[in-house]
Amino acid sequence: MEKTAQCNGSESCKDGGETITNAANGTQPFCFSAEPTMDDIRRLQAEFTAERDWNQFHQPRSLLLALVGEVGELSELFQWRPDATEGLPGWTEAERERLEHELSDVLIYLLELAEKCRVDLPRAVLCKMALNRAKYPAGRVRGSARKYTDFSFSEMSVIHQTGGTDKQAPKLNCCGAAHKQTCSNLRMMSMYSLVQHKAKVFLVVLYHCSCSA
Ligand SMILES: [Mg+2]
């Protein structure tokens, strides 16, 4: 999606040939501005920190705690708000502005934490999405909120054999090892489920034999 104007909740975006108009409280499709990029934000925060000689304080552990604090501030906005559905209908402009501020605080600290940990976050996100697609093949888990570790043996087998059935799964070389590890984990879980299943069958047979004896 490419946005054609700076985003303040009322601009238009282009998704392919389709033009999308963002509405502040709407439930219509929504997109972000093309800029700033993640690296733009990382650089802006790095400049902000360096100008104040705050790098001495901005070590990974402290940044993580700051991030958690900002998540807490964000959570306060949603506390006791059952009306907080998609598009946030009924929220005032002031409430939406506070939301923008807290979301931004969270993102800024997250990106600075990634920088200080030397994690290339945009690339890492692509890899993680590929792993998520492998763990949750759309054709198998659609409409289900179960965690992948709660899938049945047969479901796990299908997932392992296919390595994911999601046609949109990106082919990323950077995720090759991680994807193999995921498949390996799924295979181990499948075997564990099989052992559990056989143990249950054995106990049932044993129970019936003892009853008939
Ligand atoms: Mg804040």
Which range is least confidently modeled, 62-76, 113-127, 128-142?
Answer: 128-142
Structure tokens of 180?
A: 């193999």
Q: How far is the CA of 205 from the centre of ligand 1 (A)?
A: 61
Give the model's pLDDT for residue 147.
77
C-alpha of residue 125 to centroid of ligand 1, in Å: 24
Q: How far is CA 145 from CA 39, 132, 133, 140, 151, in A?
A: 33, 14, 14, 11, 11
Give the model's confidence band at 208: pLDDT under 50 very low, under 70 low, under 90 confident, else very high: low
- Look up the CATH number of domain 2-124: 1.10.287.1080
Distance from residue 73's CA to the centre of ligand 1 (Å): 6
Domain boundaries, the chain: 2-124, 141-212
Ligand 1 centroid to 87 CA: how many Å? Answer: 21
**Residue 195 phi/psi, 5° resolution?**
-60, -45
CA-wise closest residue to 176 among 131, 135, 132: 131
User: What pLDDT does 7 receive?
Assistant: 42
Mean pLDDT of 105-118: 98
- What is the C-alpha to C-alpha distance for residues 53 and 74, in angstroms, rounded to an integer? 27
pLDDT tens digits for range 160-191 = 555 444 555 444 455 655 555 555 655 555 55
Residue 60 neighbours by CB under 8 Å, 6+ apart:
113, 116, 117
Measure 175 CA to ligand 1 centroid, in angstroms.
Answer: 34
Cα–Cα distance, 167 to 169 (Å, whole number):
6
